[in-house]
Amino acid sequence: MSRVSEESGTAAKETTTERIPAALRREQILAAASRVFGERGYSGATTDQVAQAAGISQPYVVRMFGTKENLFLEVVARALDKLITTFRVVLAEPQPAGDDDADSLVARLGAAYVDLIEDRGILLSLMQAFITGHDPVIGAKAREGFLQIYRMLRDEAGFPPEIIRDFLANGMLFNTLLAIRLPDIFEDDEAAEELMRCAFRGKLDVVLDATGSHASHAMSAPTGTAGTHS
């Protein structure tokens, strides 16, 4: 795929180039960039790939955000905001009476985290930022973002360090399994299936759905959950 804007491509992209308000176009670019950066990483992604995914020209992407780095930083900031907001919503919910505090709250936060997979690119863009810790600018933002999550879980959720550590550990495993594209081989490798059934539990369908890896295969618990419940 070269640089010329050949209409009608095979990959998913925003078709039809019309005049759209800059603010809205900006959102489209950010959404496209989130997917592209999440997949290829900061260095691996190109502004042209983002442009094609957004259905516009490469110069427009660059002019809208000044630099590729600014675009990535904006994507990461948005992803972090979305994550923090999602957690705060869960924290604001009344906990289902009868459930013990911490244990159930952790489970609900974890479920909310997994559900973020629907907004493709958010989790992976964040992970890509974490992995780019060597970069002076991106690294600093990544560290601050990671610690912001930690402080939220400590100061707002009231978790002790050990609980937070385990929670973050599961999150990083989830990110890694997504990044390595393990869902792609769910049906072809028994070990992959076993690990993912164990790691994703009731959210297995959500993950396989979002990653486009087959459709139905349940076989776990007879507890409802037939279709997708986003």
Name the site residues for DNA (rule: CB under 7 A).
3-5, 17-23, 25, 45-48, 55-60, 62-63, 66-69
17 backbone φψ class: left, alpha, beta (φ>0; ψ -120 to 50): beta
Shortest Cβ 201–its own copies spacing (Å): 10
127: amino acid identity, one letter: M
- Compute the distance between CA of residue 18 and CA of residue 190 in angstroms, rounded to an integer: 48
Judged by beta carbon distances under 5 to 8 A according to partner kind, the member of DNA, its own copies, none in contact with residue 88 is: none
95's contact among its own copies, DNA, none, with CB below 5 to 8 A by partner kind, is none
**Binding positions for its own copies, rule: CB under 8 A:** 39-44, 127-128, 130-134, 139, 142-143, 146-147, 150-151, 154, 161-162, 164-166, 168-170, 172-173, 175-176, 179-182, 184-185, 189, 191-192, 194-195, 197-199
Region of 26 on the Ramachandran plot (φ > 0 left; ψ -120 to 50 alpha; else beta): alpha
Q: How far is the CB of 22 from its own copies (least distance, A)?
A: 30
State the binding partner of 180 from DNA, its own copies, none, CB within 5 to 8 A by kind.
its own copies
Which has the closest alpha carbon to 50: 38, 123, 76?
A: 38
Chain centre to alpha carbon of residue 99: 29
Task: Decide which of DNA, its own copies, none touches 19; Cβ closer than 5 to 8 Å per partner kind.
Answer: DNA
Look-up of token digits 């907001």: 85
Shortest Cβ distance from residue 45 to its own copies (Å)? Answer: 8
Q: Least distance to its own copies from the beta carbon of 164, Å?
A: 7
Which residues have C-beta within 8 Å of that of residue 216, sequence separation ≥ 6?
205
Left (φ > 0), alpha (ψ -120 to 50) or beta: where does 121 sit? left
Q: Which does 59 bind (CB under 5 to 8 A by kind): its own copies, DNA, none?
A: DNA
Choice between 43 and 220, CB closer to DNA: 43
Nearer to its own copies, 82 or 154 (CB): 154
Output the six-digit token pair for 83: 């994550």
Distance, in Å, from the CA atom of 134 to the CA atom of 120, rounded to the nearest integer, reads 25
Residue 162: contacted member of its own copies, DNA, none (CB under 5 to 8 Å, by partner type): its own copies
C-beta of 45: minimal distance to DNA in Å?
A: 6
Question: Following CA atoms 113, 176, 139, 162 in sequence, which dihedral angle do they give, to the nearest 10 degrees?
Answer: 60
